[in-house]
A and B are shown apart, each in its own frame.
Chain A
Amino acid sequence: AQSVTQLGSHVSVSEGALVLLRCNYSSSVPPYLFWYVQYPNQGLQLLLKYTSAATLVKGINGFEAEFKKSETSFHLTKPSAHMSDAAEYFCAVSRNTGGFKTIFGAGTRLFVKA
């Protein structure tokens, strides 16, 4: 069975500081992995996805994530946080059980302090 664990339900950083949001997955086969972002009062939108083409994946708004098979991790980073990055972030894995389904982690809320 495939699942996703996000470490830390809340992360707080100062504006300009490094953002690191942690995600670990469990999968019996190489997975497809995603990061989605949810801004207040909106649905989720895709930040980036890993599909085995490259281990370092660049997404929108300066975010990137690195797939590390040995650590079963797919952590999300951004070198310099901006106030507009304050949102909830979800790591997700695509699961093939009678059709592909996307399974989400519990989410990490990012706070950015001025």
Chain B
Amino acid sequence: DVKVTQSSRYLVKRTGEKVFLECVQDMDHENMFWYRQDPGLGLRLIYFSYDVKMKEKGDIPEGYSVSREKKERFSLILESASTNQTSMYLCASSLSGAANEKLFFGSGTQLSVL
């Protein structure tokens, strides 16, 4: 089965720090996604990528950037972390961009910004 691995389960950072969240998938999927999950708000799409070096903004891209230098790896970057970015971050991938495709998720990174 597809495995999506997020490098850290828990992360604590200070306000103003640059933060990198890493995600790796092992099944040659074209598409990768970053969501943040907050209670009562569900999952909100931050950025996605449909190919190496390609990226598209999701619904809440402000304060974030992404990098996809290799097909299997998709990084989320918080240029200057703020307390309102404390959240659970979920990475996902899908085989292609078809609308009926399911997403495969990592276990998530719980980020706390102090």
Tell me which residues across on chain A come within 8 A of B107, comparing CB atoms.
41-43
The 8 Å CB contact of A105, one of B42, B59, B106, is: B42
Contact, CB under 8 Å: B97 / A100: yes
Q: How far is the CB of B102 from chain A (nearest CB, A)?
A: 4
| Measured CA separation A49–B99 after assembly (Å) | 11
B78 within 8 A of A: no
Tell me which residues across on chain A come within 8 A of B90, comparing CB atoms.
43-44
Tell me which residues across on chain A come within 8 A of B48, comparing CB atoms.
99, 101
Q: How far is the CB of A82 from chain B (nearest CB, A)?
A: 23
Contact, CB under 8 Å: A44 / B105: yes
Known interface pairs A101-B45, A101-B48, A103-B45; A44-B103 also in contact (CB < 8 Å): yes
Tell me which residues across on chain A come within 8 A of B106, comparing CB atoms.
43
| Measured CA separation A41–B110 after assembly (Å) | 10
Residues 32-64 of chain B, each 1 if its beta carbon lies under 8 Å from chain A, else 0: 010100001111110010100000101100000
Task: List residues of B whose CB falls within 8 A of some A CB.
Answer: 4, 33, 35, 40-45, 48, 50, 56, 58-59, 90, 92, 97-103, 105-108
> Count the A-B residue pairs with Cβ separation under 8 angstroms: how many?
59
Contact, CB under 8 Å: B42 / A49: no
The 8 Å CB contact of A107, one of B42, B58, B103, is: B42
Tell me which residues across on chain A come within 8 A of B92, comparing CB atoms.
43-44
Q: Identify 18 residue pairs between A and B in the complex whose beta-carbon atoms are under 8 Å apart, listed by A's number.
A: A32-B99, A42-B107, A43-B92, A43-B105, A43-B106, A44-B43, A44-B105, A45-B105, A49-B100, A49-B102, A100-B98, A101-B33, A102-B33, A102-B45, A104-B35, A104-B42, A106-B41, A107-B42
If over half of A's interface residues share one DSSP class (helix, strand or loop), that class is named, otherwise mixed; here it is strand
| Measured CA separation A86–B97 after assembly (Å) | 31
- For the complex with contacts A43-B4, A99-B48, 4 further pairs of A-B residues with Cβ separation under 8 Å are A51-B100, A99-B97, A100-B99, A104-B42
